[in-house]
Amino acid sequence: MKFLICFILNISISFSQSVQTVYGEDSRLDIVNSNDPLFKELARSVALVISNKSYQKKNNIIDLNFESFKSKFKVCEQERFSRQTSFGYCTSFLVGKDLLLTAGHCFDLKNTCRSTSFLFDYKINKDGIVDKEVNKDKIYHCKKIISIENSGDLDHALIKLDRVVKDRVPLLLSDMKQVEKGEQVLVIGHPSGLPLKIADGAQVRTSKNQKYFKSNLDTFGGNSGSPVFNLKTAKVEGILVRGDIDFIFAPWKTCKVSKVCRPGKCIGEDSTSVSALSFFDNLVEEQKQYYKENENIYKKAKRIYSLRNKERDYYRSKKYYLKSYWID
C-alpha cells in the first residue's frame, strides 16, 4: 500500500488555499521527458497563471522574472526540482478558442482579471533549461471573468482572453456525471510554479458528491486550476482545486523537507467536476461549433485524440526516494 508524502506551503495568498500533496513515490515528470505522445500534445493547451508585474515586455520579447524554487520555498537541496525555477501561482487550460478554465480561488483582491496573464509553454526544454525570454505570442491577458466561484464544491473560473489562441487544441471535457471510484487519472500543471509537469499513476478515491471527487494525485500549490484527465478517454474530468498540506521544516530547522503521512492519514486531492459546472452544456456546444468552423484545428484535434486508440507506453516516472520523516 502506498503512503502519502505531504508538503506544507505557506509563502503566499495565491498558494495558501490550495496546498497539495505527493502520494507514495513521486510521479511528477517534466513534460519533455514523457514518452506518451497523447498527453505530451495535450500539455500544449495548459497555461501558467502569472501576474502582469512578473515580466517585462521588450518589443516582441517577454522577459520573465524567475525565482529559484529552492529559495522561494526554502526547501532543502535534496528536494526534487530544488534547482529549477519557480514562476506564477496557478495553472489553467484551454477549453475554447479564447477561453480558459482554472480554479476560482486563483483570483482575489490582489490577483484580479486586470492584473493577470497566462503563459503557455513554461517548461524545461530539450537542453534541460527554461527559456527566460519568450515570444510575446505565448502570453495572453485576461479580458473578462465570465463565471467564478472561489470556494466550496464548485471552485472554478471561466476566463475570456484578449484574443483567440492559435495552434492549440481546446481540451475535450468529460460529460460523466459522477466519475467512478478507482478510475485512473492524471494531472498536467505547474506544482509550486515549477516548469510544466505531468503526474500519473493516480486513482479516484471517492466520488460520492457529483460536484467534486477525491484522488491521490501528486499535486502542490500551483497545481490549482490544473486539468485532471481520465487516463483512458483523455478527456478532462475535473479542475484541481484543493489538497493536503505541503512542507515542514527539517529537524535542523534550516530548510523544509517533505512531510510523510502514514497510510490513510491524509485527506486526498479535490477536483471540481467539469460536468457539474452550470455552463458545461453551452461550453461543449461552443467547442463543437469551433471545431466545425475551423478545419485545421479540427484535423489537429482529431489526430491528437486518435492516439487514444493506439498502444502507448505507460510513462510512469522512475522511483524517487525522498529523505523524509514520519509525522503522526
Q: What is the CATH number of the domain that holds 241?
A: 2.40.10.120
Q: What is the pLDDT of residues 116-161, one digit of tens each?
A: 999 999 999 988 899 999 999 999 999 999 999 987 889 999 999 9
Q: What whole-number distance in Å separates Cα of residue 61 and Cα of residue 19?
A: 33
State how many domains the chain has: 1
38 or 208, greater pLDDT: 38
Q: What is the pLDDT of residues 215-259, one digit of tens each?
A: 988 888 899 999 999 999 999 999 999 887 777 787 877 898 766
pLDDT (average), residues 172-194: 94
Q: What is the pLDDT of residues 8-59, one digit of tens each?
A: 333 333 343 444 455 667 788 999 998 889 999 999 999 999 999 999 998 8
pLDDT (average), residues 275-279: 96
Q: What is the pLDDT of residues 51-83, one digit of tens each?
A: 999 999 988 999 999 999 999 989 888 888 999
pTM of the predicted protein model = 0.88
3-state SS class at 61: strand
CA distances from 4 to 259, 260, 325 (A): 8, 6, 11
* pLDDT of residue 302 exceeding 90: yes
* pLDDT of residue 322 exceeding 60: no
Q: What whole-number distance in Å separates Cα of residue 106 and Cα of residue 69?
A: 20
Residue 32 in grid coordinates: 519533455
Structure confidence at residue 312 as a pLDDT band (50, 70, 90)? low
pLDDT of residue 310: 76
pLDDT (average), residues 93-111: 94
pLDDT (average), residues 186-202: 94
CB 231 within 8 A of CB 184: yes
Q: What whole-number distance in Å separates Cα of residue 26 and Cα of residue 82?
A: 14
pLDDT (average), residues 102-122: 94
CB 246 within 8 A of CB 26: no
Residue whose C-alpha cell is 482575489: 108
Full residue range of the structural domain in which residue 228 is found = 4-327
pLDDT of residue 14: 39
3-state SS class at 142: strand
Residues present in the chain in total: 328
pLDDT of residue 323: 32
